[in-house]
Amino acid sequence: MKKLISIYPGTFDPVTYGHLDIIKRASDLFDKVIVTIAVNPNKKPLFSIEERIEMLINELTSIKNAEVDSFSGLLVKYAEEKKADVIVRGLRAISDFEYEFQMSLTNRKMSPAINTIFMMPSEKYSFLNSSLVRELASFNADVKDFVPENVNNKLKEKFSR
């Protein structure tokens, strides 16, 4: 029987409980989940690629079928290289849908064998995104309900400088 490989891409700057919720549920659906950090030259991330990889690895130790990686370039080409069957995308709100729908159709045109599935995080994380977490943390707000302790500590370190 073929093992299904999925890719969950994102910037994960930083990883939030919403991300982890989707990763955990994807790991229940697929034989392998590659959580991959997208390198986007148009974005100025708070954390380096290495820091984001470290944070993700620390949070995914209990999910045995998840691995962490990074890529630059086209996601669909990366998915082909990894022999992925599915791209997992998170949808928080209706506002995410139009962009994600357009990307899904474009990816399907470029590589028809790779499907995209959309997963919504648990309702308690549906409002959450990394930009909001970074902004709150920059004002010394308590973000412990939004990110794991390790990530919260890294945010405090970054903004105490």
Place of tokens 């962009």: 99
At 54-64, the pLDDT tens digits run 999 999 999 99
Task: Indicate the range of 44-48, 100-104, 116-120 predicted with least confidence.
Answer: 100-104
* Number of structural domains in the chain: 1
Q: Is the pLDDT of residue 114 over 80?
A: yes
Catalytic residues: 19, 43, 92, 130
Which CATH number is 85's domain given? 3.40.50.620
In a domain, 149, yes or no: no
Place of tokens 């920059």: 138
Mean pLDDT of the chain: 93
Instruction: For residue 117, give its domain range.
Output: 5-126
Burial track 116-153 (b if 16+ CB lie within 10 A, e otherwise) = beeebbeeebeebbbeebbeebeeeeebeebbbeebbe
Q: Residue range 31-54: average pLDDT?
A: 94
